Amino acid sequence: MTRVLVVDDDALVRAGLTMMLDGSAGITVVAEAADGGEAVSAADAHRPDVVLMDLRMPRVDGITATRRLVGRPGPPKVVVLTTFDTDENIVGALRAGASGFLLKDTPPAAIADAVTRAAAGEPILSPAVLRTLMDRTLRQTDTWATARASLAALTPREHDVTLAVASGRSNADIAADLTMSVTTVKSHVSNILAKLGLENRTQLAILAHDAGLV
């Protein structure tokens, strides 16, 4: 079972998400929290696999909470679920270490699927968020140059894997596309993250988008 912590300052939203997720196969909600501070405490107490995180909350916001959670040993995956899709929110959350970013108009089944995929280590970006990241890349030439310089350190094979990760491909899909085993794909991803000093696949996808490769 994928253990989930639901974080939102709206009690009705929390209740709705909890009911929906608990009714999904392979998922159980182990705790709820009303702000980022409670989220960190609840994560310590219940050890969830995935934290479904709101952004705009009193006291401790979602980005700060995400940074605190992923900065610890054995952190949960954080998937942001919010109504705010500005560049600042999206990039801030992902750079803080979130494994994905969804909008609250995402269908319930897609949210449940995102939780399962996040627990498996897959990056989660809704189409609207992906478009925003692409638009941002086109606007930021300085970021483009820096990202290109970073990716220049990769081998050709690592470059292929990076492109596939940035396109949202699963490990199985990448393995099939590049004719390698899933274990080899995972090894390449780990090596790429270590080489570039990144925390997760989502940050790698951001870097690829910043470089204008996707």
- pLDDT at residue 99 in the model: 87
Q: What is the mean pLDDT of residues 49-74?
A: 92
Q: What is the mean pLDDT of residues 145-154?
A: 83
What is the residue range of 105's domain? Answer: 2-133
Residues 19 and 123 in one domain: yes
- pLDDT at residue 131 in the model: 65
Output b/e per residue, 149-178; b: 16+ Cβ within 10 A: ebbeebeeebbbbbbbbbbbbbbeebbeeb
What is the rounded distance in angstroms from the CA atom of residue 121 to the CA atom of residue 189? 11
Count of domains forming the chain: 2
Whether 115 has a pLDDT exceeding 70, the answer reads yes
Q: What is the residue-wise DSSP string for 11-44?
A: HHHHHHHHHHHHTSTTEEEEEEESSHHHHHHHHH
What is the rounded distance in angstroms from the CA atom of residue 85 to the CA atom of residue 133? 10
Which CATH number characterizes residue 159's domain? 1.10.10.10
The tokens for 152 are 């220049």
- pLDDT at residue 67 in the model: 93
**Which of the two residues, 75 and 167, has the higher pLDDT score?**
75
Contact between 63 and 90 (Cβ < 8 Å): no
What is the rounded distance in angstroms from the CA atom of residue 99 to the CA atom of residue 198? 12
Give the end of a domain, one of 89, 107, 133: 133
Judged by average pLDDT, the poorest of 5-9, 102-106, 124-128, 167-171 is 124-128
Give the end of a domain, one of 133, 152, 182: 133
Residues 129 and 205 in one domain: no
Residues 45 and 88 in one domain: yes
Going by pLDDT thresholds of 50, 70 and 90, the confidence category of residue 142 is: low
Going by pLDDT thresholds of 50, 70 and 90, the confidence category of residue 32 is: very high
Residues 160 and 180 in one domain: yes
Going by pLDDT thresholds of 50, 70 and 90, the confidence category of residue 90 is: confident
Task: Tell me the HSE value of 102 on the side-chain side, using a 13 A CA sphere.
Answer: 23
Share of the chain above pLDDT 90, in %: 54
Residues 20 and 105 in one domain: yes
Whether 189 has a pLDDT exceeding 90, the answer reads yes
Whether 114 has a pLDDT exceeding 70, the answer reads yes
Whether 122 has a pLDDT exceeding 90, the answer reads no
Nearest residue to 202 via CA among 142, 145, 117: 117
What is the rounded distance in angstroms from the CA atom of residue 75 to the CA atom of residue 212? 30
Contact between 185 and 110 (Cβ < 8 Å): no
Task: Tell me the HSE value of 126 on the side-chain side, using a 13 A CA sphere.
Answer: 20
What is the rounded distance in angstroms from the CA atom of residue 207 to the CA atom of residue 166? 8
Q: What is the mean pLDDT of residues 180-189?
A: 93
Residues 129 and 144 in one domain: no
- pLDDT at residue 72 in the model: 84
- pLDDT at residue 8 in the model: 96
